Amino acid sequence: MIEIMSNKTRSTLRLVAILIVALAVLMQLSIVVIPALFVYKFWLVVIAFALLLIAGK
């Protein structure tokens, strides 16, 4: 099987996805307030899920 992504790239994508979801959760709890991103909380989680799908084997 051809390896398209290295393990380092997969790990980086997973880390980015986790950070995006953590940011969305903190924004939902009003701990972190970023007005420009506040209306896009749902889409942040969708993007994070897509990153996890891409990073999966």
The full set of domain ranges for the chain reads: 7-55
Q: How many CB atoms lie within 10 A of CB 2?
A: 3
Please answer whether residues 52 and 14 qualify as being in contact, where contact means their C-beta atoms are separated by less than 8 angstroms.
yes
Q: What is the pTM of this model?
A: 0.85
Rounded to 10 degrees, the C-alpha dihedral 12/16/18/20 comes to 180
Q: How many CB atoms lie within 10 A of CB 3?
A: 7
Interatomic CA distance for residues 19 and 12, integer angstroms: 11
Q: What does the pLDDT look like over 26-54, one tens digit per residue?
A: 999 999 999 999 899 999 999 999 999 99
